Structure 1
Amino acid sequence: MAPKPRGEWSTVLSHLALGVVSLHAAVSSVQSSRGAAAGFLLQALAAATTLVPGLGTHEDCLAGAWVATVIGLPLLAFDFHWVNGDRSSANLLLGGGMVLAVAGDHLGPEGCSVAGQAVLLVVAVTILIVAVFTGNTYGMWGGAMLGAAGLLSRLEEDRLLLLPKEDICRWALAAGSWAYCWALHTQRLQWE
């Protein structure tokens, strides 16, 4: 009986952390980067739907997480690429996310899971590449944490470090979002 309450509390705390970090990042980046702010806001809303009782069914929460992944994360990477002049990669990431969002009903649960993890890893790798070439330390940490969340979600185990795997992934996403918010701020300061 003891592991169940720990899992419930860790789930609530991980959703709360991701929601608060994402909402803060959305508010702090809205003036400089509306695309990234929209991506952060999608993450915050997806996390909030699971925290408010009676707000939606389990399927609605999964749909919100799907949208936050396939549209929200490419929006975050879009601005990072756009400011650095890599407009083709920015458009490709965002366009690919939009196509996946539309095709989500036809993929099935396993297909959606694999596509979401692929989007997370592609966004993490592209952010990491741009951050390395521009010397943006926060971007490197953000890309590494987003990548860690993507890789952890592919593991077969249900629990990591005595916590549910999904909670650890949300903590990694929250840390990545926090670092990425600072990366955007640092990037804007470099280009001004």
Structure 2
Amino acid sequence: MAGQHAEWSTAVPSLGLCTVCLIAAVRTLQINRGAAAGFLLQALVSFVGSAGFFCTPLGLPVAVDSQSATWVSTVIGFPLLAFGFHWLNGDHSTANILLGGALLLAMGSGYFTEESRAMLAQSVAVVASITILILSLFTMDFCGLLGSLALSTAGVLLGVKAERLLMLRKEAVLSCLLAAGNLACQWALQRQHLELD
């Protein structure tokens, strides 16, 4: 019974993250397609992560490499989100550098060891969230500040080698932090778009 509870405590927050990211992708599609793609990528990865739990009782085994899925979501999804913030603020060169660097890292993933991939994923998450934080400070966007802090905290916690954080499973804590960060970032993007119009 304890194993089932542990699976539920991971699958439900992951499904919540998927829902938040899908809603954010739909709401930001007309604002910035790069940010919407970042939200969508995170939604797909969290859905695939929770699909194994919901499909196994139906007799549909789902084999998911969660390490690779998290790698793709972090290395491409977070920079796409930062891309949207920079693009909306007119900083096209930084937006393109972030996106180009993320794509180069993603293409070279086969050349990295497992430890270096974890370190790079953590670094990309923190760098993307710090650039959002800096933009939010300059534009005095409180939602962007909260979102970037939640995303950077999740990025730092990616590298923590612990099963539990705050008496909860690490995956559940990360899903909740990412959901809160993505929701705040979606509100920040909408607010910036309204101010530009």
TM-score normalised by structure 2 residue count: 0.91
User: SS of the counterpart of 1:47?
Assistant: helix
Aligned partner of 1:181 in structure 2 is 186
| Contact in 1 for aligned 2:48/2:64 (Cα 8 Å) | no
User: Which of 131, 151, 160 is matched with 1:126 structurally?
Assistant: 131
Q: Aligned-pair distance for 1:141?
A: 0.5
Is structure 2 residue 63 aligned with structure 1 residue 57?
A: yes
User: Which of 84, 101, 120 is matched with 2:106 structurally?
Assistant: 101
User: Which of 159, 165, 171 is matched with 1:160 structurally?
Assistant: 165
- Percent same amino acid among aligned pairs? 44
Is structure 2 residue 44 aligned with structure 1 residue 45?
A: yes
User: Which of 73, 95, 101 is matched with 1:90 structurally?
Assistant: 95
Mapped partners of 2:6, 2:154: distance in 1:
18
RMSD of aligned residue pairs (Cα, Å): 1.5
Mapped partners of 2:162, 2:67: distance in 1:
20
Aligned partner of 1:33 in structure 2 is 32
Q: Aligned-pair distance for 1:55?
A: 7.1
Higher mean displacement: 6-15 or 95-104: 6-15
Mapped partners of 1:67, 1:56: distance in 2:
19
| Contact in 2 for aligned 1:22/1:40 (Cα 8 Å) | yes
**Counterpart code for 1:18:** L
1:120/1:49 Cα in 2 relative to 1: closer, same or farther (>3 Å)?
same
Structure 2: stretches of 5+ with no match in the other structure: none
Structure 1: stretches of 5+ with no match in the other structure: none
Residue deviations 1:127-158, cap 9 Å, x none? 01100110111100100000111122222322
Between the two proteins, the alignment pairs up a number of residues equal to 190
Aligned partner of 1:19 in structure 2 is 18
TM-score normalised by structure 1 residue count: 0.93
| Contact in 2 for aligned 1:35/1:79 (Cα 8 Å) | yes
| Contact in 2 for aligned 1:26/1:41 (Cα 8 Å) | yes
